[in-house]
Amino acid sequence: MVSDQYISSVAPSPVLYFLFVFFVCVWFLRVYLLYRETLKRNKEWIGPRTLIGDETVFSQIFRPIPGISLGYDYPWLSKHNDYPSDGCDAYFMVSAFPVGYSSLWLSDAAAIKEIASSRLRFPKPVKLYKVLLIFGPNIVASEFDSWKRYRRMVASAFSDRNHEYVWYSASKLGVDLLDNVFKNEKEVVLDDVTEITLPLALYMIAIAGFGREVTFQHDGVVPHGHKMSFKAAIDIIAKDIFLKLLLPTFAFTLHPRLRKLQLAFEEIEEYIKEMIRERQTSTQEEGRPDLLNNLLEANGDSEIKGEKPLTDEELIANVFIFLLGGHEASSQALAFALAALSIHPDEQKALYQQIKQVMPNGELPRYEDIHLLAYSLAVINETLRMYPPVNASPKYCAEDTVITVTNASGSKKLVPVPKNTKIFLHITGVHYNPRYWKDPHVFNPSRFLADYPREAFIPFSSGSRSCIGRKFFETEAVAILSLIISRYKVSIKEDPRYAHETFEEKKQRIFTANIKLTLTAANQIPLVFTRR
């Protein structure tokens, strides 16, 4: 039993109680006043207001809750809708929490270019990329001098010779798909397009990134000393990496799925270490120009040049980033491209006509002649415009500054931006900005075959921190798309459940998407491939 005396000694005295309520009220008042002040400071430039701001964990986890949070899909769902139609392509999003928080959103191509090309004034807020530090410091999750060192080294891995190797490897892999998975059958039905695009993107990075000999027929072998195949390990990581972000380390012993994820990480690390060891001890003079070989070569040369070479941990971490970067975005982009061609048969016909002309015998041209397949690249570009895998690129302001934007009648306006303000280069916002794109909601690849506003097309971001894998992706995508379309016509699988849907409803069903690691289709995309 607890004595009365004890209870009365812990019960708050009325004075303490009053003080507590008083301080809570003062705190809320302060939050409110700061919120008002932020609104006033940015008065000309106010966009959406919320209770809880975009940088909180809360907003990263939940869907939109009106008045409270805009949800993690905001950069995708809002497209260009929140920019005033007769004003400037810039607004501050203001929230009560974090206290005094506001972030600047931009869909003005010139302003974006200015920011992306002034890295020191507008660095990357690397703490948003913490999950990518799983294997150690790397090019994506670093800034300033360490980033510079990684970027220089990694850039020499993405060489012309590598891209040529991507082309011929993608060609072999595409033929492997058609001969051994589709088996050249009259009709091939897939319940979901990612059944092929995920392995395609994954194998491409395994082959041209790591020099592994993977094919559709021969995969999933578990080598001596391993508990999991290379492919299985990457599949698991790609699917579940977000759990690593959400859960503490000890959780990974608790559930079979988590233990498997943990094992996958250990296995991948072991595979990468083995590959590095193998290359370092090999006496071969000229290796294959895969990314890993190129990186190791550049690393060897750095010592000669008197630069600090990457440690094994840094090598592994950067190579892991290729795996991740090369996998998700590429597979989703290919999936959306095939889906878009399925619901736009006229576009597919135009594409096929060019392919047939360039590849009369069904074989890809030489790498030097890749430009002949311009329509394929235009389809890829238009897909990336409408469904950009990365929807916004975050920066922050290292100093108080002003950013120049242009209003609807062409006059320049200055947006004052205080030091440390978060800035979002709103990729989806620019891509749907009617100032740059006529009928932005219409899939029209040929807009890329004429003059188009290059600064308003930024799926790979722009400036010094733009995607280093752009050409790697373009090359594999053009090869694989051209090969598939050269032999097969692709369409959406008929389904009695959707017999009466309109074109818009179908578009809605197929292209509803969420932001995961990258933009991901929310529903399965069922496709039928019919032999030409």
Given the rule CB under 6 A, which residues bind ligand HEM?
139-140, 151, 205, 321-322, 325-326, 329-330, 333, 389-390, 393, 459-461, 465-469, 472-473
- The residues that bridge with 188 in the sheet, in sequence order, are 529
Q: 505 Cβ partners below 8 Å, 6+ apart?
A: 498
Q: Answer yes or no whether residue 443 interacts with ligand NAG by CB under 6 A.
A: no
Our CB check for ligand NAG shows the closer of 211 and 440 to be 440
The Cα angle at residue 48 between residues 46 and 49, in degrees rounded to 5: 90
Our CB check for ligand HEM shows the closer of 96 and 468 to be 468
Our CB check for ligand NAG shows the closer of 92 and 460 to be 460
Give the binding range for ligand NAG (CB under 6 A) out of 129-137, 250-258, 332-340, 408-416: 408-416
Shortest Å, Cβ 324 to ligand HEM: 8
- Sequential DSSP letters for 100-163: T-EEEEE--HHHHHHHHT-TTTS---GGGGGGGGTTS--STT--HHHHHHHHHHHHHHS-HHHH
Rule CB under 6 A: choose which of 250, 409, 438, 500 binds ligand NAG: 409
Helices 328-343 + 345-358 axis angle, to 10? 110
Our CB check for ligand HEM shows the closer of 422 and 465 to be 465
Chosen from ligand NAG, ligand HEM, none, partner binding at 88 (C-beta under 5 to 8 Å by type): none
Rounded CA-CA distance 230/228 in Å is: 7
Chosen from ligand HEM, ligand NAG, none, partner binding at 472 (C-beta under 5 to 8 Å by type): ligand HEM
Name the closest residue to ligand NAG (Cβ): 448
Phi first, then psi, for residue 234 (nearest 5°) are -70, -40
Residue (of 218, 219, 249) closest to 234 by Cα position: 219
Q: Is residue 104 packed enough to be buried (19+ CB in 10 Å), middle (13-18) or exposed (0-12)?
A: buried
Rule CB under 6 A: choose which of 131, 181, 247, 374 binds ligand NAG: 374
Q: Answer yes or no whether residue 381 interacts with ligand NAG by CB under 6 A.
A: yes
Q: Answer yes or no whether residue 393 interacts with ligand NAG by CB under 6 A.
A: no
How far from the centroid of its chain's Cα atoms is residue 258's Cα? 24
Q: Answer yes or no whether residue 411 interacts with ligand NAG by CB under 6 A.
A: yes
Three-state DSSP class for residue 161: helix
Residue 467 annotated as binding?
A: yes
- Token pair, residue 499, equals 């017999």
Q: Answer yes or no whether residue 9 interacts with ligand NAG by CB under 6 A.
A: no
Name the closest residue to ligand HEM (Cβ): 469
Q: Answer yes or no whether residue 351 interacts with ligand NAG by CB under 6 A.
A: no
Rule CB under 6 A: choose which of 5, 7, 67, 86 binds ligand NAG: 86
My answer on whether omega of the bond before 98 falls inside 30° of 0, hence cis, is yes
**Site residues for ligand NAG, window 456-495 (CB under 6 A)?**
460
Shortest Å, Cβ 315 to ligand HEM: 14
Long-range (24+ apart) CB contacts under 8 A made by 149-153 are 149/307, 149/308, 150/310, 150/314, 150/318, 151/464, 151/468, 153/295, 153/298, 153/299, 153/302, 153/310, 153/318
Chosen from ligand NAG, ligand HEM, none, partner binding at 411 (C-beta under 5 to 8 Å by type): ligand NAG
Q: Answer yes or no whether residue 377 interacts with ligand NAG by CB under 6 A.
A: yes
CA distances from 181 to 190, 191, 200, 258 (A): 11, 14, 12, 31
Give the binding range for ligand NAG (CB under 6 A) out of 206-214, 256-264, 361-369, 375-383: 375-383
- Token pair, residue 404, equals 């120049």
Rule CB under 6 A: choose which of 48, 87, 123, 365 binds ligand NAG: 87
333 C-beta neighbours (distance < 10 Å), count: 22
Shortest Å, Cβ 471 to ligand NAG: 9
Residue ranges of the binding site: 467
Binding site for ligand NAG (CB under 6 A): 86-87, 374, 377-378, 381, 407-409, 411, 448, 460
Residue ranges of the binding site for heme: 467
